[in-house]
Amino acid sequence: MPLDIPAHQLQMTVLMTPDTANFSGKVHGGSLLKYLDQVAYACASRYAGRYVVTMSVDQVLFKQPIKVGELVTFLASVNHTGRTSMEVGIKVVAEDIQQQVVRHVNSCYFTMVAVDEAGVPTPVVPFVPETPLELRRHAAAEMRRSMRREIQEKFSAAAHAQAGGKA
């Protein structure tokens, strides 16, 4: 493993260039989302040892704008695994190199699914949290998973009722 980073974690740093920004010199949210998806993919596929696809994105919170010229570091970690899925939490930190100021600018959670060569979901090795931080992240991931399922059930029930109870 490079830099002794565990297989369930990944760190990536990118310099924000003008092609990622709008006319005011701030990075587009869409540009950041593209990087986030790439980081989630890299972290999950590294952990699973296979190709993964994005299933969902939760709680993308843009806390502060990122400016052109800042270094942006993505800190990713597999927080939880299901049978074929993995929750990847990503913390985004922006660094103003000249001012030497570091800010937490974004956090989010991606659910990635491991797939085989035919695109069929395939099992992943269960993630076993060991440190207090991993245990806390794991418990929070279970809560988010439960909330996602509850919302999905409510939407399904509402759609069923709206269709007049017909499938």
Res. 155: pLDDT tops 60: yes
Measured CA to CA, the distance from residue 61 to residue 49 in angstroms comes to 29
How much is the mean pLDDT over the chain? Answer: 92
Highest mean pLDDT among 20-24, 85-89, 142-146, 162-166: 85-89
Among left, alpha and beta (phi > 0; psi -120 to 50; other), residue 43 is alpha
The proportion of the chain whose per-residue pLDDT surpasses 90, expressed as a percent, equals: 79
pLDDT at 166 > cutoff 80: no
Q: How confident is the model at residue 1 (pLDDT cuts 50, 70, 90)?
A: very low
Q: How far apart are the first and last CA of the chain?
A: 50
Residue 160 has pLDDT above 80, yes or no: no
Summarize the confidence of residues 38-45 as an average pLDDT: 98
Task: Look at the chain and count its residues.
Answer: 167
Supply the pLDDT for residue 165.
62
Domain ranges of the chain: 2-125
2 band by pLDDT with thresholds 50, 70 and 90: low
CA separation for the pair 39, 138 (Å, rounded): 19
Report the CATH number of the 2-125 domain. Answer: 3.10.129.10
Long-range contacts of 46-49 (CB under 8 A, 24+ apart): 46/7, 46/10, 47/7, 47/8, 47/78, 47/86, 47/124, 47/125, 47/127, 48/86, 48/114, 48/124, 48/125
Q: What is the pTM of this model?
A: 0.88
- Reported as a single tens digit per residue, the pLDDT across 103-145 is 999 999 999 999 999 999 999 999 999 999 999 999 999 999 9
- What does DSSP say about strands 101-114 and 9-15: parallel, antiparallel, or unpaired? unpaired
